[in-house]
Structure 1
Amino acid sequence: MDAILQILRDEGYSVSNELASYYSYVDLWKKWWEGYVPSVHDYSQVILDGSIRTFKRYRMNMAKKVSEDWANLLLTNKTLINVDDEVSQQYLAGDAVEQNEGVLGDNHFWENANLLVENAYAAGTGAFVLRVKDAQLKSSTLIGGKVKITYIDDAAMIYPLSWDKGEITECAFGSVKYLNGKRHLYLEKHLLTATGYKVVNEYYNYEQEKPVKVAVPEGLIEEFQIDCKLFYVVKPNLANNIYKNSPLGLSVYANSLDQLAACDIAYDNFVYDFVLGRKRVFMNQDIISMKDGKPNLSETMETRLFYSMGQKMPNENQLFQEYNPALRITENKEGIQTALDILSANVGFGQSRYSFNDRTMTTATQSKLSNKDLTESVAKQRVMIEEVLKGLVKSILWLGRNIIGEKVNEEAKVTITFDDSMFQDIDAEKAQFLQEIRDGIRQKWEYRVKYFGEDEETAKGMVQQDEEIKFPGAE
């Protein structure tokens, strides 16, 4: 948003032209995610009478599909975040398995985080921002309240102020708010200090072309100091070949725009072959009854099927002629599949992710064995997701202990367990694990660590408390 860039420059922040121009790429990537790029999806043709008509392409909207799939591979409600301190775990997420309570549950974390990753992978950048709702300010320090997680899923609202080798250390986050029916611009700046961060909140009346600064709403603290980082940026783990030193991320399909266009062009041709390939029957006027000078056809007759040729049929004795054009289904499907294969490989999924032809299902085990590119790409992207989640959890626990007064341990070990069910035959793995328990090769507590997400101490304690725990098929 140009208004935010101008505000930051007016306040003395240096925003390079190179970084400012990068937002034009963000805007283009968002258009692909939305599914409509005028320069690609609008096209003109000269028709029979010599006039020019504009048409819209039929679209597959693969940019959104790619982004959704990456989000589902990286962060879902099957992802587990475990802390090796029981009180801290309860505060963060409730129990260790369902994780629908605590701070994460209150903030509907799993569904919102999944949507954030989707948007971040589409437009290049997203961010988790922590706030303390209903806190009081005492000697420039926050007291009380509860942790609120804000999901900044619009890359155009993230403005890096300082960064080092791509890591954003200071940042401004913008959002549009409505107060008393009037549009306002909310700007939240996180500025690095010697001991932590200074957070500055600003509001601007945005009814006019130029925003005018106004007082912040009641209940919002204008400025405070905190010894903890409150924002964590999410972006694809990709080298930026558009702006090498950019602190903003690169869309996962930034280098696949031609492939996205190819998919839509191929699909548009596929659909139009059906539209233009409709069956037609050309008829001699002599077999059509007329009424008031117009053909009198039955109301139940598909009138689009029939065309009057007057009395000029190819054969003077011919009363009607069918026309059944070829639909080129096989050729079109092959063209679409080729476009999908190239796109799939380009965005890190390998060539076998999408199928326009295959009506059979592939098992997860087969998928893992046949698509090494996908598993390697997922492992690479999870490095970034894991780092963000661990940092976010540490900051939540720090706020819980130092601001809100909960008896949690911000130094507790945090473990992220990703959902690998799409790559594994979980039932077969569990059966094998249980067999190894029966054979004495493994211990029962190891099962709890692997499949319940518990740490070793907790798992051993649970087994010791109840030796009557029966595993399916185990004695």
Structure 2
Amino acid sequence: MGSPLLNDKTQVVRDAQEFTDWLATYLAEMEFMPAAQATVVRAFGMGTGARALLVDADSAKVRIRHYDARMVVPLTWDKEGTTECAFVTPAFYSGRAVDQLQVHLRGREGYRIETACFDEAGSEVAPVDVCPSYETGSEWPTFAIVMPAIDNTRVDMSPYGKSVFTDAVDALQAVNLAFDAMISEVDNWKMRVFLSDVMFDQKEDGRGRKVSIPFGRQDCTVFRKAMSTEDTIQEFAPALRTDAQAKALRTALQMLGDLRGFGISYFDFDGAGYVKTATEVSSDNSALMCNIRRHERVLKKAVAGICRAMMTVERSLDV
């Protein structure tokens, strides 16, 4: 879902063209879109991701950091979404590993970002030039939660999203099983040649005994028939069942695509035997396009919200 949802054609625009141009330049400088696409990929796989502002007051710059579900700790939320959140990231200070905690809290004057660092023993560390508390002045949340547009009904009032793989684990296992079975079929049922002892040269083993010279220990095609002089060369070539295995794999792929909202034909093989591209499928797969539109509405809100907060904080730094 990462590529069709966020790509080079994605734009963030405002009513005034000068703001649109400024945003395009600013986001390009921080390489926002590639990082945002990677965030979408992780968020859809893990259920939750996030973006949050990182303010460098000394250089008067505002950056956007990206987080996956392991780093996101919602603090205040309701059915409308998360309003306060903490983010935990690993870092290094003076050669020591530390955990950096950034908390985005809502106050009367807008959002405030509090930062603290802790070492491996849990003791607080105070790195130089790190502001423990910064008033952003932004009425907009200085972070944005990213998650798929899938209802999370398994956990009541959970602030976390639902992974797109939640209901498709069995389908993934079926794809893996069918693919392994097809490859094993080709490997296990290739031709074997059985040769009589008389077809092998012999040599002494150092104890005065004569032993047959094998073709090689890694050879799994030619085998020696001990104590046999009949049928000096015998072939064994069983019939492959790849057609049945390919049909099972195709069924598993169809099931996976259907359960994950791509539609039954997204991962399916066509008549030529290769997997269809997204462009080929989207023309006749309404399920895929409907799901993309649902996810786009959720992602649009997250991107617009973090950009509003970024512009507000950037404007306050320029004053």
Query: Structure 1 length as normaliser, TM-score?
Result: 0.62
Determine which of 180, 193, 197 is the counterpart of 1:285: 197
Alignment of 1:333 with 2:246, yes or no, is: yes
Alignment of 1:177 with 2:177, yes or no, is: no
* Counterpart for residue 79 of structure 1: 10
Determine which of 201, 206, 212 is the counterpart of 1:295: 212
Distance 1:320 1:164 in 2: 77
* Counterpart for residue 74 of structure 2: 160
Alignment of 1:382 with 2:313, yes or no, is: no
Alignment check: 8 A CA contact 1:266 1:336 kept: yes
Alignment of 1:323 with 2:236, yes or no, is: yes
Determine which of 11, 25, 42 is the counterpart of 1:119: 42
Alignment check: 8 A CA contact 1:146 1:404 kept: no
Matching residue's letter, 2:62: V
Change (3 A) 1:328 1:214: same
Alignment of 1:303-318 (within 5 A): 303-312=219-228, 317-318=230-231
Cα shift readout 1:246-281 (whole Å, capped 9, x = no counterpart): 101111111111111111111111121122123211
Shift of 1:362: 5.9
Cα shift readout 1:98-131 (whole Å, capped 9, x = no counterpart): xxxx220121111111111001101011111112
Alignment check: 8 A CA contact 2:196 2:225 kept: yes
Alignment check: 8 A CA contact 2:47 2:164 kept: yes
Alignment of 1:105 with 2:28, yes or no, is: yes
Matching residue's letter, 1:77: D
Determine which of 242, 245, 251 is the counterpart of 2:157: 245
CA RMSD in angstroms comes to: 2.2
Change (3 A) 1:250 1:302: closer
Alignment check: 8 A CA contact 2:196 2:230 kept: no
Distance 2:48 2:40 in 1: 9
* Counterpart for residue 54 of structure 2: 131
**Secondary structure, in 3 states, of the residue corresponding to 1:147?**
strand
Determine which of 133, 137, 146 is the counterpart of 1:227: 137
* Counterpart for residue 214 of structure 1: 125
Alignment check: 8 A CA contact 1:199 1:224 kept: yes
**Secondary structure, in 3 states, of the residue corresponding to 2:174?**
helix
Distance 1:303 1:120 in 2: 47
Alignment check: 8 A CA contact 1:166 1:247 kept: no
Change (3 A) 1:362 1:172: closer
Change (3 A) 1:160 1:363: closer
* Counterpart for residue 355 of structure 1: 268
Residue ranges of structure 2 left out of the alignment (5+ in a row): 205-209
Alignment of 1:166-205 (within 5 A): 167-205=81-119
* Counterpart for residue 470 of structure 1: none
* Counterpart for residue 63 of structure 2: 148
Cα shift readout 1:151-190 (whole Å, capped 9, x = no counterpart): 11x2011001110116111111000011232110000011
Shift of 1:199: 1.3
Distance 2:269 2:123 in 1: 52
Q: Greater share of strand residues, 1 or 2?
A: 2
Shift of 1:202: 0.5
Matching residue's letter, 1:150: R
Shift of 1:358: 4.5
Change (3 A) 1:302 1:220: closer
Distance 1:226 1:356 in 2: 52
Alignment of 1:345 with 2:258, yes or no, is: yes
Alignment of 1:61-80 (within 5 A): 70-80=1-11
Distance 2:277 2:88 in 1: 44
**Secondary structure, in 3 states, of the residue corresponding to 2:116?**
strand
Matching residue's letter, 1:125: T
Query: Structure 2 length as normaliser, TM-score?
Result: 0.91
* Counterpart for residue 400 of structure 1: 314
Shift of 1:297: 5.0
Shift of 1:400: 2.5
Distance 1:365 1:123 in 2: 26
**Secondary structure, in 3 states, of the residue corresponding to 1:247?**
coil
**Secondary structure, in 3 states, of the residue corresponding to 2:144?**
strand
Change (3 A) 1:349 1:297: same
Matching residue's letter, 2:3: N
**Secondary structure, in 3 states, of the residue corresponding to 2:13?**
strand
